[in-house]
A and B are shown apart, each in its own frame.
Chain A
Amino acid sequence: MTTWQLPLLWLMLAAYTGSFMLYVFSAWSKKENMRKPALYAAYLGLLMNLAVLILRTYLIKGLPLNNGYEFGLCFAAAVMVTFVFMERKFKLDFLGLFVLPIVVLLSCWLINLDLSVEPIMPALRSYWLAIHVSAAVIAYGAFAISFAIAIAYLVKMNKAEKKELKKLDELSYKAIFVGLPFLTIMLVTGSVWAQYAWGSFWSWDPKETWALITWLIYAGYLHTRFLGWQGKRSAWLAVLGFAAVIFTLYGVSYLMAGMHSYIG
């Protein structure tokens, strides 16, 4: 059944890519009626994404949170679930245009990973793993959405009405407001776990340090809001924050050696 993962992943990629293209076509041709098929394709992609996750759960007989591939699957699902929720609740029918590229790129990366089931190392056999990685999935999912909304803001800045821009600014802020507490929980649980597993709650490992840098950027974002920052400046800060997320997840794994090197 391990081999079933790849076709499902291809279907997931195809659906997400199709959805993105429909969104692009809809925006380019200004045909509102294309948005519904785009959304249905996104649902189909999410369904495939969840199917791979369920299959993986069955294959590894546990929560799929043990390596980069499993994390990537959960991350893509978290981004899409949040997208569907935001799309429906706040009627942001253009949001797909900015969210889908994230999951398309993520799916392309996932397809190229080793999909085989390997036993996990003793250090990862801990209940802290589930809490730590779940918090990361939710936090990074929320930040991805805040990033997509911030990009939407920057793109629409000179065209959209003030009210719509204000709504985008507020939603990007809200997504960060949801994500940052989860990022804090991720850092805390990771530190406690590191103390038990490695004998040190903080080792300035590149992954840890970049997670802290991400936390600092978003903490800075919240503080600058109190200093009156909003709109364009906040949007750029949200973009910077997500760049830090991506670097923490992928840049560090591929470019820097460290204690978290197993996740790549």
Chain B
Amino acid sequence: MADIDIKDIIREENLVYKKTDVLTDNVMHYCPGCSHGVVHKLVAEVIEEMGIQEQTIGVSPVGCSVFAYNYIDIDWSEAAHGRAPAVATAIKRLMPEKFVFTYQGDGDLASIGAAEILHACNRGENIVVIFINNAIYGMTGGQMAPTTLVGMPTATSPYGRQIDLHGYPMKMTEIVATLPGTCFVTRQSVEKAAAVRKTKKAIRKAFENQKAGKGTSFIEVVSTCSSGWKVNPVKANEWMTEHMFPFYPLGDKKDCEKDPAEDYEKYMKG
């Protein structure tokens, strides 16, 4: 056993990981173990690594992450529930040289904002969309989301989601991947270090796509809500791995450029 004192390890020259300066010093209001904190950190780290803090505008949703602007030290717009893609559309079109992303939960993006996200993706808006799917409404107290699994109990499906009563869970990422305006559509997670690394790579790629003007990049992060699920954070990750991943399989659904215009223009020719 090599003999070295802890205080000799904890030196500036030995630093391998610290909180990015793009995160503010505000203490996050999220519950212990909440995936939001991890994803916020990854977005902030990508902004730092790309050196785009001064050019990035975030659009925060309604829901738990409404206060994302308190934690990532950039300019922000706080959008009405579900409308972030419309807000981001205008920001990007009016300032095409800036980086614009939305950060939205499943109630925001898949339910009340379904029209806005589908049309922004279909137009191929040159933005990044971060979609946190924890299958529940966190902020309002654990109600059923469009992504709630069948059989999963929530405050508004106390006996478990039933198809006859509530309809089917919605796979937004698969839907969005069919739209011609999207260039990169992927589903990731942050429950373990390897997954965190992959998600960060995906976020980086999404911002690089925006730089290259490739179209809409859409990143779903399957996440936990230990308060809403009523389990501790560690159990929440286990529950997610066991139940969410089989229904919401991880991985890239699409990685290309938005569809070429010629494919669509030919129908009016001849």
- Tell me, yes or no, whether A binds B: no
